[in-house]
């Protein structure tokens, strides 16, 4: 039985006969940090939903540690662009939500919430309601909540898309720190190629119509990833390469749409 995440010849249709994703074969080792980029509509969120078990593949299989994914489960945590916190629950009780649902004893729950709030730098806000937090702080709570049940995989769908540039940069460093401390596998979708190359150990580029993995690019940049790494010639060249690939996929997609519209 192989460990990690595997997608075997996965396709997904929302409308019969029109695949959004097709022929996806992917293996992610435990503890890897993989980022996913691609043109809008290429199926990035659909890919995450299939791994999360929020949608089932039309054909093929998603496997986690050799077990087929048949629905959502505590072994996969997810955070989205909008933090989607429970506004009536304090920060600590938002983080505790999944643990309560699993019936984790109070003492263990409190201990884990304490550790997570410390990890995300929000100990002082444990009793605060989410509405009183900044966007970046809300995202930290959302990620802490997703990590509370100690998932084997953390799925992030454009988690920093709505944040200002400076907060986004802080959050990128934060994700790298979390990943090093917790050691979980991370699969993160982003529109931002710079972010994908800075964070990922591998960058997957999706093509469109149907979405396929057109490139699987190892990111061989020095660790730890610091802001200096971001200014290195190596980084800039890799970023340009991935940008060109995404641009080419986007143009091909637009040309296909024009062709379909004119025929």
Cα–Cα distances in Å, from 221 out to 197, 205, 213, 233, 252?
9, 18, 22, 11, 30
Minimum distance of ligand ATP from residue 225's CB (angstroms): 24
Q: Which of 17, 40, 107, 124 contacts ligand ATP by CB under 6 A?
A: 40
Under the binding rule (CB under 6 A), the answer on residue 14 touching ligand ATP is yes
Answer for the pair 30, 187: CB distance below 8 angstroms, yes or no.
no
Whole-number minimum distance, CB 46 to ligand ATP, in Å? 3
- Computed on alpha carbons and rounded to an integer, the radius of gyration of the chain in Å comes to 19
CB-based burial label for 30 (10 Å; 0-12, 13-18, 19+): middle
Q: Would you count residue 43 as binding ligand ATP (CB under 6 A)?
A: yes
**Residue 201 found at the interface with ligand ATP (CB under 6 A):** no
User: Binding residue for ligand ATP (CB under 6 A) from 11, 22, 45, 138?
Assistant: 45
Q: Count the residues of the shown chain that bind ligand ATP, applying the rule CB under 6 A.
A: 10
The smaller minimum CB distance to ligand ATP, of residues 119 and 158, is found at 158
From residue 71, alpha-carbon distances to 52, 57, 67, 174 in Å are 7, 11, 12, 29
**In angstroms, how far is the first alpha carbon of the chain from the final one?**
49
Q: 19, 38, 77, 159: which one contacts ligand ATP (CB under 6 A)?
A: 38
Binding residues (CB under 6 A) for ligand ATP: these are: 14, 20, 38, 40-46
């Amino acid at each position: 039985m192989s460990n990690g995440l595997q997608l075997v010849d996965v396709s997904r249709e929302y409308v019969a006969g029109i695949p959004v994703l097709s022929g996806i074969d992917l293996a992610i080792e435990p503890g890897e940090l993989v980022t996913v980029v691609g043109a809008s509509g290429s199926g990035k969120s659909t890919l995450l939903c299939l791994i999360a078990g929020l949608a089932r593949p039309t054909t093929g299989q998603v496997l986690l540690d050799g077990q087929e994914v048949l629905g959502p489960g505590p072994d996969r945590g997810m955070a989205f662009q909008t933090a989607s916190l429970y506004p009536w629950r304090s920060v600590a009780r938002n983080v505790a939500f999944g643990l309560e649902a699993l019936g984790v004893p109070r003492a263990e729950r409190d201990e884990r919430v304490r550790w997570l709030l410390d990890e995300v730098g929000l100990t002082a806000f444990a009793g605060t309601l989410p509405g009183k937090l900044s966007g970046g702080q809300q995202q930290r709570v959302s990620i802490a909540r997703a990590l509370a049940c100690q998932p084997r995989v953390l799925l992030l769908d454009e988690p920093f898309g709505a944040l200002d540039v400076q907060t986004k940069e802080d959050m990128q460093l934060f994700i790298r720190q979390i990943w090093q401390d917790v050691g979980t596998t991370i699969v993160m979708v982003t529109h931002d190629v710079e972010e994908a190359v800075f964070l990922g150990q591998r960058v997957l580029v999706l093509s469109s119509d149907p979405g396929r993995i057109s490139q699987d690019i190892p990111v061989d940049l020095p660790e730890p990833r610091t802001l200096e790494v971001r200014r290195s010639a190596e980084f800039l060249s890799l970023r340009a390469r991935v940008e060109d690939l995404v641009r080419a996929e986007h143009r091909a997609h637009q040309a296909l749409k024009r062709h379909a519209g004119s025929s």
